């Protein structure tokens, strides 16, 4: 293959696009001994920013609540990256943006959530791995329906 037709998939830049942490019941919440229930929501997004360059991001939202529904903390991070995709068929670009890029971004988002929650005075939140392949295929099925 010539150099012009070689597929290119590269990470150009990784960054935190948005980060927030709320502890609405501080300081009293720190005196609670009850272990909160932690809920995690994940969403992915991507957009073409110019020829061959795409922004891909994942938003991870963590909400910790006590049984009486008081929020212990709410953390949200939008971890993003700029990726170069060149000489790749359109169908493969969709899969790269929906699966490969989120897989690259997730460890960074996980570390940011854990670090932020720890700095707020709580034990670290260790997020379980996510199957972005299954998420992508489920969203494709929902769009087709």
Please, what's the largest Cα pairwise distance for the chain?
65
| 143, 104 Cβ separation under 8 angstroms | no
Report d(CA 76, CA 86) in Å as an integer: 32
Number of Cβ within a 10 Å radius of residue 105: 23
Q: What does each of the 145 residues of the chain score in pLDDT, given as a tens digit?
A: 455 689 999 999 999 999 999 999 999 999 999 999 999 999 999 999 999 999 999 999 999 999 999 999 999 999 999 999 999 999 999 999 999 999 999 999 999 999 999 999 999 898 999 999 999 999 888 888 8
Domains and CATH numbers, the chain: 8-123 (3.10.420.10)
Structure tokens at 80: 């993003």
Nearest to 130 by CA among 104, 103, 105: 103
């Amino acid at each position: 293959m010539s150099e012009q037709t070689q597929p290119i998939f590269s990470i150009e830049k990784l960054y935190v696009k948005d980060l927030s942490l709320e502890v609405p019941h501080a300081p009293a919440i720190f005196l609670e001994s009850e272990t909160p229930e932690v809920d995690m929501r994940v969403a992915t997004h991507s957009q073409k920013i110019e020829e061959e360059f795409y922004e891909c991001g994942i938003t991870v939202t963590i909400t910790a609540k006590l049984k009486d529904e008081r929020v212990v903390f709410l953390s949200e991070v939008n971890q993003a990256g700029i990726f170069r995709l060149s000489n790749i068929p359109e169908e493969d670009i969709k899969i790269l943006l929906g699966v490969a890029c989120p897989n690259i971004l997730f460890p960074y988002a996980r570390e940011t959530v854990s670090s932020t929650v720890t700095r707020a005075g709580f034990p670290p939140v260790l997020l379980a791995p996510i199957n972005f392949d299954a998420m992508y295929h489920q969203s494709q099925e929902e769009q087709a329906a």
